A and B are shown apart, each in its own frame.
Chain A
């Protein structure tokens, strides 16, 4: 945590990471473990917000999120929490207007923020990374002096650069960074299709037509009960996979140079088709070239395992024409049986044909 924080005890949960603090009402206990996992692993605000909103907004009436950046502080409040923000320019109260999804506020430079969740007690305890039950949380700038933050920032940066320069990594490291997927990275041009950030309540852009009263009901189609979940296109005999997991269970290092995290379904093939996904669980689609047509269009699926396979990646040959060979460390290579999922051990190598292999490593 870049700012010093204090709290007053209460019934809200404070999930405090190094960069991000999330505040949730006591009723949202179920969301806390996932968020703590992310916050503790150093995830950025967007990644935490992603996880927070994964279950939809409707069941999440109140929350607050504070993210401390290098020079800015980002503040989101929904529902009850109110924040009073003090900067060199003055004080401001930040709270969500009723009927809006949330209020977002970005503060540049040093500031102190007092978040009132329930009650208004004095903040007597130091808030350190971890979990706490709170009613009021207060973040103050590291040094209250207005001059101090400026020299502090460059000093911080100059600390990082020499470190990178001193330890150049001569071996191309196949293991990608631990940072969760949504972290903004300097990407080379071809970007994957993306649904973007989840939005709050969208404002209808069209005019709402005037209500007339001469309607008659003559259609055949009618709305039924909403189903909690329709099953994904199932591979027969397998448990339904979790859509997206907060931590990748493995990394896939392709012989083509691609590195893909298994934090959701990964589809590999010559021209893979992704079917029936929701905007929040868009699969990773990896296209590999196959000049001799040994690889099928959608050849192989790798995804986080469920049930007994929880925590590992599982691979399923999707009925490819020429099959997939799996070599697990210490075992003889085997042909994958189409439609049957196999749990992958780190170090395993999958051979799809046409010289394309996938090595499984720890995330």
Chain B
């Protein structure tokens, strides 16, 4: 739709698989340029799958009338509506079976106009992730809202320990939470993103960042790349639903000296390194 107004051509591919263990695919996704969403529902059949579907439905409606100049406002409103919807649904369910709950993660990527410039606005709730490829390297942009991420931030466990931690599936923010939602937002210049990946933890829990990077760098077509990621996750054990959405900005005029990666390393080395 608004690609014309934005003068940005987006190519994308998506793939989702129930995996080898689960009976229901509770992941939902949307690829309606320039609106992309991955949601990983929790709560079992007619809980998680419905909750993640509700998020995608809201963003589907948003994509139909999307206005990049009001992108931030529209995304925040869509998340708030999805939240209200899931809470209503949960309340209705709880009337029948107390203790029942439905919730979902969400990662969202949209193009917005900020000060007359097109940028990526990213939003995150939960432990689905957004990565980017920039200058041939993979970088995780979103920061998980999870117990293990908090332990990592507090310096109590390492990333490697987090991967096998018993509470690694426990998330601290989600849509459907009765306390309300507090999404994290990220605003990135268009030129800083060569390729974007939105995925559920069924991908990141099964294959590590090095393998994700390898696939995203090796496979040119975004549809094939999404497919390969999900197949690799299933091949690695497929313990959870796996979903990947890959987005390429086509004809991106590369800012040759884009240096955030170098800068991050520079900052870390100047600060004496940090783990």
Q: Which residues of A contact B (CB under 8 A)?
A: 56, 58, 189-196, 199, 201-206, 208-209, 211-227, 230-231, 233, 236, 271-279, 282, 285, 287, 293, 296-298, 318-321, 337-339
Least CB distance, A57 to chain B, in whole angstroms: 9
Q: Let me know if A224 and B58 touch, CB within 8 A.
A: no
Bound Cα distance A221, B264 (Å): 31
List the B residue with the shortest CB-CB distance to A267.
B187
CB-defined contacts of B81 to chain A, threshold 8 Å: 202-206
Q: Let me know if A204 and B85 touch, CB within 8 A.
A: yes
Least CB distance, A23 to chain B, in whole angstroms: 25
In the complex, besides A204-B84, A279-B72, A338-B267, 15 extra interface pairs with C-beta distance below 8 angstroms are: A193-B72, A193-B113, A193-B121, A208-B92, A214-B46, A215-B46, A215-B47, A219-B42, A220-B169, A220-B239, A221-B201, A276-B184, A276-B185, A297-B189, A339-B271
Is residue B179 within 8 Å, beta carbon to beta carbon, of the partner chain? yes
Is residue B23 within 8 Å, beta carbon to beta carbon, of the partner chain? yes
Is residue B137 within 8 Å, beta carbon to beta carbon, of the partner chain? no
Q: Which residues of B contact A (CB under 8 A)?
A: 22-24, 26, 40-48, 50, 54, 57-58, 61, 69-73, 76-77, 80-85, 88-89, 92-93, 96-97, 100-101, 103, 105, 112-117, 119, 121, 126-127, 141, 143, 145-147, 150, 153, 167, 169-174, 176-177, 179-180, 182-189, 191-192, 201, 205, 239-241, 255, 257-260, 262-264, 266-268, 270-271, 274
Option from A190, A193, A298 in Cβ contact (under 8 Å) with B260: A298
Q: Let me know if B185 and A208 touch, CB within 8 A.
A: no
Bound Cα distance A214, B105 (Å): 23
Option from B73, B88, B117, B127 in Cβ contact (under 8 Å) with A196: B73
Q: Let me know if A206 and B57 touch, CB within 8 A.
A: yes
The residue among B50, B188, B259 with the most chain A CB atoms within 10 A of its own CB is: B259
Q: Let me know if B177 and A226 touch, CB within 8 A.
A: yes
List the B residue with the shortest CB-CB distance to A213.
B96
Option from B93, B101, B150 in Cβ contact (under 8 Å) with A230: B150
Option from B42, B180, B187 in Cβ contact (under 8 Å) with A221: B42
Option from B50, B82, B189, B257 in Cβ contact (under 8 Å) with A272: B189
Q: Let me know if B96 and A211 touch, CB within 8 A.
A: yes
Q: Let me know if A224 and B167 touch, CB within 8 A.
A: yes
Q: Let me know if A273 and B267 touch, CB within 8 A.
A: no
Q: Let me know if B115 and A191 touch, CB within 8 A.
A: yes
CB-defined contacts of A298 to chain B, threshold 8 Å: 260, 263
Q: Let me know if B263 and A318 touch, CB within 8 A.
A: yes
